[in-house]
Chains A and B, each alone.
Chain A
Amino acid sequence: GENVEQHPSTLSVQEGDSAVIKCTYSDSASNYFPWYKQELGKRPQLIIDIRSNVGEKKDQRIAVTLNKTAKHFSLHITETQPEDSAVYFCAASGAAGNKLTFGGGTRVLVKP
């Protein structure tokens, strides 16, 4: 089955700097790659997603890139703010339908 690896597990950045989280997946049939933000004690919330027919997608300070050949995708957060502090999860889904396989998560701390 699908396996998703996520790095780093923790990331500390200064406010205003950029943060980058990287994920790799194993199943070449995967075609949907969402990113979720989970604050302490709260539900995972979708912040951005990308499909396999697109190489890059941006939404304000957040961008995601996908390299299908290398089977990796990345989340980029620019101009980080303290409210960006949370755990971020990447996930992959493929021909099996809506089943999501998650990475292990990255705890991001933005220091003011």
Chain B
Amino acid sequence: DAGVTQSPTHLIKTRGQQVTLRCSPKSGHDTVSWYQQALGQGPQFIFQYYEEEERQRGNFPDRFSGHQFPNYSSELNVNALLLGDSALYLCASSPESGRKTTEAFFGQGTRLTVV
């Protein structure tokens, strides 16, 4: 089992550009969450996808959007990039288990640098 995989590992973009990050969940997991981790801080929840729909959303602007595919993989899109969007973007997958919170497994992240 490859665990949670993310691509690319590193990315440099210019202000105003758009970026797409990708995530493949751990085998058997159907729920994908995205987090933004600024340098020296804890991860901040962006949104969560389940059954191809956004189920929860954190305090992030509409420039941040996502998608989940039938195979449970997911994309994070960020439009009109700002310097402040520079961060490590983490994907976490977990198995859906009703109302019980389950363990989240993280990918290695995508380091996005906006210049």
Which A residues have a C-beta under 8 Å from some C-beta of B?
1, 4, 6, 31-32, 34, 36, 42-46, 49, 89, 91, 93-105
The B84-115 residues at the A interface (CB cut-off 8 A) are 90, 92, 94, 99, 101-109
Which B residues have a C-beta under 8 Å from some C-beta of A?
4, 31, 33, 35, 40-45, 48, 55-56, 58-59, 90, 92, 94, 99, 101-109
How far does the alpha carbon of A34 sit from the alpha carbon of B106 in the complex, in Å? 13
Q: Of A89, A99, A103, A104, which is within 8 A of B45 by CB?
A: A99
Closest beta carbon of chain A to B87's beta carbon, Å: 13
How far does the alpha carbon of A49 sit from the alpha carbon of B92 in the complex, in Å? 16
Q: Are A98 and B94 in contact (CB under 8 A)?
A: yes
**Contact status of A32 and B101, CB under 8 A, knowing A104-B41, A105-B42:** yes
Query: Which residue of chain B lies nearest to A44 when distances are taken between CB atoms in the complex?
Result: B106
Q: Are B107 and A99 in contact (CB under 8 A)?
A: no
Q: Are B102 and A98 in contact (CB under 8 A)?
A: yes
Q: Are A42 and B31 in contact (CB under 8 A)?
A: no
